[in-house]
Amino acid sequence: MNKIITYAKKTMLAIKNPYGSVVRVFPNALNAFENSENVLFLGVKDHSSIPHKLVHLLESNNMILHTIDSCSLGGRAIDYRLFHPIHGGYMTGSSSGTALNVFLGINDIGVGTDGGGSVLAPALSLNLFGFISPLIEWEYMEGFRKQSTDGISFVPSIGFISKDLQLILDAISLTLQTDPKNHNRIDIFEVNKEINYNDRKTCMNYLQEQLSKYDVVVEYNRNIDVFGKGDSIYGHYDLRTQEEQKKSNKGLLRVANMVGATALAIPSNELSSGYVLFCKSDLASIRKMLSIAPKYCQKEDEMTKKYFGNIDMYFDEGYFNRKV
């Protein structure tokens, strides 16, 4: 009964939509509790590139469609319509609403799409886990090939966002039929040099070079979009906007999908920060990457959990709760 009450509050919060991150709510998701107590709520980015088949697969495993989530206009890397609930700046895009609805507790897991960091960046900006792989529904996704703002052709990848690494692993297991396994030897490269991150092709060449030599590449990203706007449309104007774009601290995650890599974002306890693990997109490499993921995990920030994990605060009766 307590879980049903908790999830009913999630639905009420989605309907209230305090951050404008919800496009549509499906209250009948609560009906799933008639058949199972193991229900989880799923959010899906409001984009046609996410196939119904994938959502049906997740629903058949108790991840029930709960919301359609807002996203940035035209796939922009900054969503000027949504606000970050911690630092109050604009939300990182483009799977911005999907990340917000997980952060706010409306959903347990979200499905987004990533062309140039659009799952990994919003996930880390809210200190969430994120995962992308071009292997997920790759045949279907081929129909959505597009060009980036700097003229690079790419096919978006589907990805997952959650507060819980295990839920990410469960979704990966369902969609890729692979599980993390222990390996005796994994060659890991930790990025320790400054790269011209504004030049996407330089980043692509660098990441491809390292992935050709190592099983897993690891990079730490600090304060994503906290002190700058990591948006190439904004950054292309002049030296000042380029410098502000650089201060956004979006590293190689901007090119993970463009080089066909699989990647996992793991939050740290610094604001909008965390590790991104990259590997080649084959099942053996993905297994290796997932097997080392737990060693990078840190405990969720207690203050954030206490404040934003309290759905009741959105329904405080305020004036009418006064003592007479």
Report the range of poorest mean pLDDT among 6-15, 88-97, 224-233. Answer: 224-233
Write out the E strands in the chain.
22-25, 40-45, 63-69, 78-83, 90-92, 109-114, 129-133, 146-147, 153-154, 157-162, 188-190, 216-221, 262-267, 274-279
Query: Residue 324: is its pLDDT beyond 70?
Result: no
Looking at residue 1, its pLDDT comes to 66
pTM for this one? Answer: 0.96
* Domain residue limits, the chain: 2-308
pLDDT band for position 197 (cuts 50, 70, 90): confident
Fold classification of 2-308 is: Amidase signature (AS) enzymes (3.90.1300)
pLDDT band for position 322 (cuts 50, 70, 90): low
Tell me the one-letter amino acid at 292. I
Q: What whole-number distance in Å separates Cα of residue 165 and Cα of residue 32?
A: 23
Q: What is the pLDDT of residues 284-315, one digit of tens each?
A: 999 999 999 999 999 999 999 999 999 999 99
Q: What is the pLDDT of residues 32-81, one digit of tens each?
A: 999 999 999 999 999 999 999 999 999 999 999 999 999 999 999 999 99
Tell me the one-letter amino acid at 200. R
Looking at residue 63, its pLDDT comes to 98
